[in-house]
Amino acid sequence: MSWYIYLPIAHHSVALPLIVGLGFVVGLLSGLFGVGGGFLMTPLLIMFGIPPTVAAASDSNQIVAASASGSYAHYRLGNVDFKMGIFLLIGGVIGGTGGVQLIKILRALGNADFLIMITYVLMLGFVGGYMLVESLQGMRKSKVSGPVLVKPKESAYAKMLKSLPYQMNFEKSGIVLSPIVPLFLGTLVGVLAAIMGVGGGFIMVPVMVYLLRMPMHVVVGTSLFQVLFTCINVTIMQAYSNKTVDFILALLLLVGSVFGAQVGARLSTRLKDDQLKIYLAILVLIVMVKMLYGLVLEPHNLLAYHGGH
């Protein structure tokens, strides 16, 4: 029996265990942290010889499966804030549509790939660094101090949130907030996600934690719910516009990823919020360092296919 399978759209032969294994690892991260995994899987697939456009589009397709599985698991655990998710999703669609137009302009100006990479490095560096420092401080405080008696001073950001109109109760997240905030932040994430070509989960999770002040376990489920719809849209658009969705590649990835997502969702309930944040921060920082390394290190060949093959 051959362990190799030919991918009809990628026009490339791959080892079955390798692709299924990659799917499992990314599915695990998806269920554990609520990130789609696109920011990890796409570079890995490219590394194994899959053309970048096919890698990104097919990855979106497998994320549909992983996030559907993960969302369902979190829904059963009561970890999905549908009300918040829908507001973020509406913003994400608006931002994503605008972002697609923006990327067209960037490509026309030239060096769009470099701009995308440097945006990744800055975003990942900022998000990962902030999460790591904040979580480590949180863990240290909980070890050192007993019950906190002094009520912390309300920040300007918190005051601003309270002053916004149409305050609404998001019961599942336990917060009262104007829907303008998730709509606005969803739009911003949508723009970034479109530029970077990913579902946006790894940006959305810190936004929910730090800017929307949602509890981490609800964040994971709600993020998966949002990523699911973003990737459904991307898959259909890529299949229609670019014919880059490799059905077989996505199927192989999702075989591993649906199992991984279930395992990840269960593991996430056994970890503390700060632990989850630290692991995600480390993961984000590793990817950032890898990308930065790629930008400053001389390429092994100074000639590359236009548009990434």
Partner 1 sequence: MEVTNAMRYRIFILIFLVTTSLMMDSGLAAQETKGLTITPDTINVNSFFSGSALTISGDIKAADDVIIEISGKDAINNFELKGRVGPFWMTTGKVELENIPSFYLVLLPQGKDWLQKAESLGLGLEQVKHRMVTKSTAKVPENIFSMFKKLKKSEELYDEIPGAVTYSDAKDGMKHFVAKCNVPSSIALGNYLVKATIITGGVRGSEITGQLKVQEVGFVKFVNKLAEDQRIVFGVSAVIIALAAGLLMGVLFRQSGGSH
Q: Which residues bind partner 1 (CB under 8 A)?
A: 2, 4-6, 8-9, 11-13, 49, 61-62, 64-70, 72-73, 76-77, 110-111, 113-114, 118, 232, 235-240, 243, 245, 247-248, 250-251, 254-255, 258-259, 261-262, 265-266, 269, 295-299, 301-307
- Judged by beta carbon, residue 19 or residue 161, the one nearer partner 1 is 19
Q: How far is the CB of 187 from partner 1 (least distance, A)?
A: 24
Q: How far is the CB of 175 from partner 1 (least distance, A)?
A: 25
| Dist CA 143 CA 58 (whole Å) | 44
- Judged by beta carbon, residue 4 or residue 166, the one nearer partner 1 is 4
- Judged by beta carbon, residue 9 or residue 278, the one nearer partner 1 is 9
Q: Which of 32, 22, 24 is nearest to 282 (CA)?
A: 32
Q: How far is the CB of 303 from partner 1 (least distance, A)?
A: 4
Torsion of CA 290, 291, 292, 297, to 10 degrees: 80
Q: How far is the CB of 210 from partner 1 (least distance, A)?
A: 27
- Judged by beta carbon, residue 101 or residue 111, the one nearer partner 1 is 111
User: Would you list the DSSP string of 1-13?
Assistant: --SEEEETTTTEE
- Judged by beta carbon, residue 131 or residue 228, the one nearer partner 1 is 228
| Dist CA 136 CA 147 (whole Å) | 18
CA angle 259–50–8, rounded 5-degree value: 85
| Dist CA 187 CA 166 (whole Å) | 18
Q: How far is the CB of 40 from partner 1 (least distance, A)?
A: 18
Residue 167: how many CA atoms within 13 Å on its side-chain side? 8
Q: How far is the CB of 209 from partner 1 (least distance, A)?
A: 23
Q: How far is the CB of 253 from partner 1 (least distance, A)?
A: 10
Cα-Cα-Cα-Cα dihedral sign, residues 244, 6, 30, 130:
negative
- Judged by beta carbon, residue 14 or residue 280, the one nearer partner 1 is 14
- Judged by beta carbon, residue 21 or residue 138, the one nearer partner 1 is 21
Pure H helices in 34-81: 38-47, 52-76
Q: How far is the CB of 156 from partner 1 (least distance, A)?
A: 36
User: Which helix (H) or strand (E) segment is 170 a member of?
Assistant: strand 168-170
* Helix/strand/coil for 176: strand
For β-strands 12-15 and 168-170, DSSP reports them as unpaired
Q: Which of 196, 227, 262 is nearest to 85 (CA)?
A: 227
Cα-Cα-Cα-Cα dihedral sign, residues 119, 120, 125, 128:
positive
- Judged by beta carbon, residue 5 or residue 188, the one nearer partner 1 is 5
Cβ atoms within 10 Å, residue 239: 18
CA angle 271–82–201, rounded 5-degree value: 55
